[in-house]
């Protein structure tokens, strides 16, 4: 099946099995194209197995996007067996909207696992939220990152310690990477490859 527009917040690709897991993706800043375009490049291998929502860009409100997504899921008669959250780089902001709202209102976290993918922590707001997140929720978190993608090395190390070595993966440059941006983007391939 094709992609369904989710109230302008992004697009949802629908797997053939209504009970397929739901992957919620908030990408980063514009890199040639908006993240609502380039994040699909990393989803090809799993599109038949997952319902996948990709936000149109990193400026969307994560809570409003997720609420609209759940309405669309219901309208499409989908019954996802479980949910996963993938936050890449600048996706920290909609991720903070969504998870922060759930924490403030003491809502249960609906995701089986959260993937923080080279999450940007170059501001005190982002660094504080994500370095403390593993201690505020029981949901498992996987942190996939490059050496400098977080921008704040102390925050990167703190988050890595918080999730534990079994849930942290450093993605190193490879010969096929033209530059650090290639390595940064490739963290998405690694993270998607870790999905069950």
Q: Which helix (H) or strand (E) holds 141?
A: strand 141-145
pLDDT bracket for residue 1 (50, 70, 90): low
Asked if pLDDT for residue 61 goes beyond 70, the answer is: yes
User: Which CATH number covers residue 37?
Assistant: 3.40.50.1820
pLDDT digits (tens, 9 = 90+) for 108-129: 999 999 999 999 999 999 999 9
Inter-residue contact 49 to 74 (CB < 8 Å): no
Tally of helices (H runs) and strands (E runs) in the chain = 6, 8
Asked if pLDDT for residue 68 goes beyond 90, the answer is: yes
Q: In the chain, what is the straight-line distance between the N-terminal and C-terminal CA atoms, in Å? A: 22
Mean of pLDDT values over 40-46: 95
Asked if pLDDT for residue 2 goes beyond 80, the answer is: no
Distance in angstroms (rounded) separating the CA atoms of residues 163 and 154: 14
Q: How many domains does the chain have?
A: 1
Mean of pLDDT values over 181-196: 97
Range of the structural domain that residue 111 is part of: 3-193
């Amino acid at each position: 099946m094709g992609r369904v527009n989710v109230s302008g917040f992004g697009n949802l690709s629908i797997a053939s099995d209504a009970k397929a897991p739901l992957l919620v993706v908030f990408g980063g800043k514009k890199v040639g194209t908006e993240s609502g375009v380039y994040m699909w490049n990393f989803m090809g291998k799993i599109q038949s197995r997952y319902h996948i929502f990709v936000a149109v860009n990193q400026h969307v409100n994560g809570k409003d996007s997720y609420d609209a997504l759940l309405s669309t899921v219901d309208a499409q008669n989908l019954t996802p067996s479980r949910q996963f959250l993938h936050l890449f780089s600048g996706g920290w902001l909609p991720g903070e909207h969504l998870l922060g709202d759930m924490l403030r209102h003491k809502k249960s976290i609906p995701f089986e696992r959260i993937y923080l993918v080279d999450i940007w922590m170059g501001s005190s707001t982002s660094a504080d939220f994500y370095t403390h997140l593993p201690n505020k929720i029981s949901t498992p978190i996987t942190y996939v990152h490059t050496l400098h993608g977080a921008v704040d090395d102390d925050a990167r190390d703190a988050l890595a310690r918080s999730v534990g070595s079994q849930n942290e993966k450093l993605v190193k440059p490879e010969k096929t990477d033209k530059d650090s941006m290639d390595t940064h983007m490739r963290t998405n391939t690694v993270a998607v490859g870790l999905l069950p």
